[in-house]
Amino acid sequence: MGPDKEHRSGEHTLALLSTPLNLFILRALSDRPMRLAELRQATGLPAQTTLRGHLAGLEESGAVAKRPTQKMPYAVENALTPMGENLLEVAGSLDSWLQKGPGGPISLDSGAAKGVVKAFVDGWGSCVISTLATRPMSLTELDREIAEFSYPALERRLSSMRMAGLVEAQPGTGSGTPYALTEWARRGVRPLAAAARCERVHMRDRAAPVTEADVVGAFLLATPLASLSEDRSGVCQLQVEAAQGLAQESGISVEVEHGKVVACESGITPHSPNFAVGTTSKWLAAIRDGAIEELRFGGGQLAEGLVRAMHLTLMRT
């Protein structure tokens, strides 16, 4: 697939926050609106053309707005918008995740963070992350599963993810080396969900919508991290209501033994007795904010307990 591919939900915001100067601008403007000269001083004296370019990008995204100054009507200052304030909240979630990197804490405004976030965004956008969330796979297997990207493109993404600590090699018996997502990579679903929510609220007409595939991918990442009480065992389904024009719901099937998730597979069966179901927006609120009352449950308490556990686990990320 060429470079003009559409973004998946959350990609745009995470990529925006991986650029250190964007962060410096947002943090500086969180104190007060500033004119260009003041902002340049507050952000470490970048080249004026560079600063203007980054400001233009943030303004186009809706995070920053220009307005007349109170003292000088013909002069303009840069001010943070509600979206800009929300971006700083997403940055906090992203920073918390980076602080727990497998190789040690990573500062969000560092070059290392930019590389890690890019590897994560590229892995999410190419479906490598959601595909590996089901089971370890070799590059050859990934190539069979993901038809939209060429073998060399997948190889580059997998290599970047390995260097970033998002995947690690596993012992294998076949010709290729299988790679598995690290637990840290799975916990990246929290800043991803925060970024997707930010886009849904503030960039509804400009950013990629949250799709059923996005929610299922989040399920596959987050569910294996959940831990329930030892008396919980059984099988349940987490289902996403079909969008208008789609024939059927999508989701995952989860098996729990003595409080531990032992199997998690994409796909659902009709008429499952134990389930949790909701729209993409309701699932986003449930996973990120714990608003499980928006979902509909069936059967016993297994599905509800699993959703609660997923939320609590991600809150500790």
**pLDDT of the chain along its 317 residues, tens only?**
333 456 789 999 999 999 999 999 999 999 999 999 999 999 999 999 999 999 999 999 999 999 988 777 778 999 999 999 999 999 999 999 999 999 999 999 999 999 999 999 999 999 999 999 999 999 999 999 999 999 999 999 999 999 999 999 999 777 789 999 999 999 999 999 999 999 999 998 888 888 899 999 999 999 999 999 999 999 999 999 976 655 578 999 999 999 999 999 999 988 888 999 999 989 988 988 889 999 999 988 999 999 999 999 887 76
In 10 A of CB 35, how many CB atoms? 14
SS3 18: coil
What would the two tokens of residue 143 be? 């190539």
Helix (H) or strand (E) holding 142: helix 139-145
Q: Where are the alpha helices (DSSP H) in 18-150?
A: 20-29, 36-42, 48-61, 82-98, 111-125, 128-132, 139-145
CATH number of 215-315: 3.30.1050.10
The answer to whether 128 and 161 are in contact (CB under 8 A) is yes
Q: Are 158 and 139 in contact (CB under 8 A)?
A: yes
Which of 293-298's residues contact partners 24+ apart within 8 Å by CB, and which partners?
298/272, 298/273, 298/274
For the whole prediction, is pTM greater than 0.85?
Answer: yes
**Domain ranges across the chain:** 1-209, 215-315
CATH annotation of 1-209: 1.10.10.10
